[in-house]
Structure 1
């Protein structure tokens, strides 16, 4: 698994498209891939949107994300929502916390992590 992380509108998707030049990939934006999806390379983006909309508990949601990408050639595009002002809304704070815990688990399992900062790529692991 290769994780691409950065702030909103920092060039993450453009970086992935350049990285994939010449390779076929299926994009999953705001949804998780199903086990019946058999594309060679998957790009999963917008997990924070999916988390905001799911009615699952935090543990169930994290387990479902991890199961959806397990054993696959996947690029996960993550939006860093943990920086800046802490939201006043309790649901937004909970989403931020859930994303942080999920992101930690994904980072621990990743083969490579790349941070995109305004179009500049930095390999973290």
Structure 2
């Protein structure tokens, strides 16, 4: 799994398109109400973009934050199982860093920020590679070779 993060509108998508120029299937959070389900027929590089958006779509102030976090982790685990089933599969996750700046006033937005941060921490532990992209420039934070 490859996790790419960075600020909003800082070139993450363009960087991923250059890094993986062919053979990618993209799933944008803006096109789905929840995480897409892995397809057994996909034998390629799959990019899931907008992790923070999927998390926000799951937020319900009635649910405990750990339940929302676990629900998103279970969705991720389905994709990790898909990735491991065949050698030519590679999962690329793109998530915007929403942890900087002023803490939001609205409870729903604070929950999104907190849960997204916890979720990204788990991603980084599991990822084989992590890149941060700011202003179109990438910095590798973690790689399999490290």
TM-score (norm 1): 0.90
Q: Distance in 2 between matches of 1:58 and 1:66?
A: 13
Q: Distance in 1 between matches of 2:15 and 2:23?
A: 15
Q: Which runs of 5+ in 2 are unaligned?
A: 84-89
Pair 38,14 (structure 1): closer, same or farther in 2 beyond 3 Å: same
Pair 69,118 (structure 1): closer, same or farther in 2 beyond 3 Å: same
Look up the match of 1:67: 77
* Alignment check: 8 A CA contact 2:104 2:110 kept: yes
**Aligned equivalent of 2:122, options 105, 108, 115:** 105
Look up the match of 2:102: 85
Q: Distance in 2 between matches of 1:62 and 1:78?
A: 13
Look up the match of 2:87: none
Q: Which runs of 5+ in 1 are unaligned?
A: none
| Cα offsets for 1:75-118 (capped at 9, x unmatched) | 10010000010001111001100000100000000001010010
Pairing 1:1-125 to 2, within 5 Å after superposition: 1-21=1-21, 23-30=22-29, 31=32, 32-39=35-42, 40-54=44-58, 57-71=67-81, 72=83, 73-125=90-142
Root mean square deviation, CA, Å: 1.6
Greater shift, 62-71 or 74-83, is seen at 62-71
Pair 109,65 (structure 1): closer, same or farther in 2 beyond 3 Å: same
Q: Distance in 2 between matches of 1:41 and 1:8?
A: 23
Larger Rg computed on CA atoms: 2
Aligned residues: 124
